[in-house]
Amino acid sequence: MVNYLVNKLPEYFKPGIILRKKRIIRFLLAFFLAFITYQVILEIITVEIPIFGFHDIVDIRNLQEVPPQRRDFPGDYSQQNLEPFLEDLVSHNYWFLSTQELYEYFIANPKKPVPSENRGRKKVMISFDDGNKSIYTHLLPILERLENKYRKKTQVVVFINSGFLGHQDSLIKKVTCQDLRDGMQKGFYDIQSHGLNHENLTKISLKALDRELSEDQIRLRKCTQDLDPNQIVASHIAYPFGAVNKQVDKYVAKYYKSGYLYDSLKLKLRFFPPNKYRISRLTVNKKHSAERLSSLASGSWLHKLIGKK
């Protein structure tokens, strides 16, 4: 259409219009190339840390742990898929970050040199919410087997609701204080907060909010006090339901160093440290195969090509 209109104009108008068209085209090409270059540079300098958020672990070979004997929870993940995923990470020498390591080296002081033994290693964090009994009965044996096989310690983050410790009358049984102590003494558990009673922190009174945050910290530290002289336990929190707002931020900052979301995103580190109270985590459910999780952890080009699933 533009060419048609240009051809209809008198000859003395055409050179100016053609020149402007060329200038516009050159500008658009330059802008496009600059944008692509910026995106490539941004991709190169971006450090991605996948933080996986699991919930209950089930043994699908045990009929008591699968429907119809047990309610089907969306966040369940099979023990049979979890083990090969974790073994893949261990065999490829991933650095299993604790919440304090992530905070200390990549958020609070990103210029602080990482320990020499961890330099150049791919980073990952594996977390489990709610304090279900399966982190003791199903997860801990996996971690012990991997340690025996590879002679490497694998630490995972367990976000605990201390108000439910030892509960046996719920649909899903909960860990006891002694379970947590056992996992911590063996070096497998990084014990952190998930709120006292798993309340949506954005929908409760300020008094209840403060209690959910402070009391959970008190109880978890009391459970582990002789094992935790530096009070690393319950220094970080994962928001129940991933729910947070500015008011929650204000109260969380009174007790915790950082806060974790549940937003199906990787943590991305670029020019500036991320918001320490908005740390992204990848949601995990039974639809994810072990291979899929390994792909997410590695950041492979195939994953970037096909997108999230």
Q: How far apart are CA 95 and CA 119, in angstroms?
A: 9
CA dihedral 78, 80, 84, 87 (to 10 degrees): 90
Q: Which of 217, 88, 218, 92 is nearest to 159 (CA)?
A: 217
Tell me what pLDDT residue 47 has.
79
pLDDT band at 302 (very low <50, low <70, confident <90, very high): very low
- Flag whether pLDDT at 177 surpasses 50: yes
Q: Which of 25, 23, 24, 3 is nearest to 14 (CA)?
A: 3
- Flag whether pLDDT at 171 surpasses 80: no
Structural contact between residues 141 and 304, judged by C-beta atoms closer than 8 angstroms: no
Structural contact between residues 297 and 50, judged by C-beta atoms closer than 8 angstroms: yes
Q: How far apart are CA 178 and CA 166, in angstroms?
A: 9
- Flag whether pLDDT at 105 surpasses 90: yes
- Flag whether pLDDT at 127 surpasses 50: yes
What's the pLDDT tens digit per position in 56-80? 999 999 988 988 888 888 889 999 9
Higher-confidence position of 309 and 145: 145
Tell me what pLDDT residue 256 has.
98
Q: How far apart are CA 288 and CA 290, in angstroms?
A: 7
What percent of the chain shows pLDDT beyond 90? Answer: 72
What's the pLDDT tens digit per position in 11-63? 555 566 676 777 777 777 777 665 565 444 444 445 799 999 999 999 999 98
Task: List, in sequence order, every beta strand (DSSP E) within 85-202.
Answer: 95-96, 123-129, 156-160, 189-193
Stated pTM of the model:
0.84
Residues 6 or more apart whose Cβ sits within 8 Å of residue 181: 223, 224, 227
Q: How would you classify residue 93: left for phi > 0, otherwise alpha for psi between -120 and 50, otherwise beta? A: left
Q: How far apart are CA 147 and CA 142, in angstroms?
A: 9
Tell me what pLDDT residue 71 has.
83
- Flag whether pLDDT at 180 surpasses 60: yes
Tell me what pLDDT residue 304 has.
41
- Flag whether pLDDT at 141 surpasses 60: yes
Q: Which residue has the tokens 């090409």?
A: 29
Tell me what pLDDT residue 14 has.
55
Structural contact between residues 166 and 223, judged by C-beta atoms closer than 8 angstroms: no
pLDDT band at 280 (very low <50, low <70, confident <90, very high): very high
How many helices (H) and strands (E) the chain has is answered by: 11, 12
Structural contact between residues 180 and 223, judged by C-beta atoms closer than 8 angstroms: yes
Pairing mode of beta strands 282-283, 267-269: unpaired
- Flag whether pLDDT at 307 surpasses 50: no
Backbone angles phi, psi at 263, to 5 degrees: -115, 10
Q: 40: number of CA atoms within 13 Å, CB side?
A: 6
Tell me what pLDDT residue 8 has.
55
Ordered structural domains, the chain, with CATH: 2-37 (no CATH), 49-306 (3.20.20.370)
Q: Which of 89-98, 101-110, 298-307 has the lowest mean pLDDT?
A: 298-307
Question: Which is it for the CA torsion 138, 241, 200, 183, positive or negative?
Answer: positive
Q: Which residue has the tokens 């390994």?
A: 294
Mean pLDDT (the chain, rounded): 88
How large is the average pLDDT for residues 198-209? Answer: 98
Q: Biggest alpha carbon distance in the chain?
A: 92
